[in-house]
Structures are given as structure tokens and as C-alpha cells.
């Protein structure tokens, strides 16, 4: 596949941006990727093996400046891990923490960076296949009438009155059968 920008070289970088919910995929050669993408890559970085740490370091480095980690001006000192002495700048350079305490030490800076990158610091993505939440497991174990009652309430809240009427009638039918079988 050829580079989307220069249309000459082979595309080696696949770049996806999601801005305001709109997904834009682009394919670049190394040279065009260095010019176009929003994260700074050192010279020759694309020809090297990219690790998760180097990628994280590159991305976070663009969204946080050490003096602005807490949303304050440059007068505040850079955060330092009390346990291992690593600074946030060192973390950005290395792409990995020095110890487990670094997570707590740099929490505010990381949360701010994640909000800037993703728009949120809470994961709301997809779930693995076959995953069931605790609520879903409980609902599965409920008697049929209770399941239908939950669906009825949901249909009423969504103002799906035809579906609500159908569910109401089914619940009445099951209750009659229950009384007749008792």
C-alpha cells in the first residue's frame, strides 16, 4: 500500500485518529508520518522496534509537561516518587515506572493525560466475548416472571408501550398458570 500523503513510498505507519467520535484512518511512509502525526518521534524511531513503553512515552510526552501535571503553573515542583525517586520526566522518557508506588505518585498527571488523549479517564470500551457482569448473572438466575417484570419496567421507561402491553399480558398469563399448577 502506498503512502496516503506522498503517494510514492510504501506505507509502514497506520495512523488512526478519533476526533469528536469520527474515525479517520491514514497510511504513511516513515518520512510523512514524522511530518504529519501529532506525536514526536525521534529520528529513526520508526526503523527501530517500537515497544509499548516507547509508544506510551511518546504519546504521554505530548499531553503533559512536568511543571503542569497538577493543572498549576510552572512554579510547582515536578512530582517525584517517594519510594524510588523517579521523576515524571524520567517516566515519560523511559515509558515505564520505576516501582509500584509510581502509580500513586504520578496519578494526577496520568489521569489528566488520559483525559486529554481519550476524552475520559474511565474505560468504557468493549467487553470480552462471553463476559457476564454480576448483574447479568443475577438476572439470568431470576424466575421468568421477574425477568419479564424487569423488561416491562425498561419498556415503560423507554415509552415502548406496545412492548410493555405485550410483556404485561405475558406476565399475567404466567401468573395464571402458576395459580392453576399450585
**Under-70 pLDDT residues of the chain:** 36-76, 124
The CA-atom distances, in angstroms, between 21 and each of 18, 32, 124, 151 are 6, 25, 14, 30
Grid coordinates standing for 65?
A: 509537561
The structure's pTM equals 0.37
Strand partners, 87: 80
Q: How many helices (H) and strands (E) does the chain have?
A: 8, 2
Closest to 54 in 3D by CA, of 20, 26, 95, 17: 95
Determine the pLDDT at residue 96: 82
Determine the pLDDT at residue 85: 92
Determine the pLDDT at residue 141: 86
Amino acid at each position: 500500500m502506498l503512502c496516503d500523503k506522498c503517494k510514492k513510498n510504501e506505507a509502514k505507519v497506520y495512523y488512526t485518529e478519533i476526533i469528536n467520535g469520527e474515525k479517520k484512518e491514514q497510511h504513511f511512509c516513515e518520512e510523512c508520518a514524522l511530518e504529519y502525526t501529532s506525536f514526536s518521534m525521534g529520528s529513526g524511531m520508526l526503523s527501530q522496534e517500537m515497544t509499548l513503553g516507547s509508544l506510551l512515552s511518546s504519546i504521554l510526552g505530548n499531553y503533559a509537561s512536568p511543571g503542569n501535571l497538577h493543572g498549576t503553573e510552572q512554579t510547582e515542583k515536578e512530582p517525584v516518587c517517594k519510594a524510588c525517586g523517579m521523576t515524571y520526566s524520567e517516566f515519560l522518557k523511559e515509558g515505564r515506572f520505576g516501582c509500584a508506588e509510581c502509580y500513586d505518585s504520578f496519578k494526577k498527571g496520568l489521569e489528566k493525560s488520559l483525559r486529554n488523549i481519550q476524552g475520559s479517564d474511565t474505560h468504557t470500551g468493549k467487553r470480552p466475548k462471553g463476559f457476564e457482569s454480576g448483574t447479568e448473572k443475577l438476572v439470568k438466575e431470576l424466575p421468568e416472571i421477574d425477568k419479564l417484570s424487569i423488561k416491562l419496567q425498561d419498556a415503560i421507561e423507554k415509552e415502548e408501550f406496545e412492548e410493555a402491553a405485550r410483556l404485561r399480558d405475558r406476565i399475567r398469563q404466567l401468573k395464571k398458570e402458576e395459580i392453576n399448577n399450585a
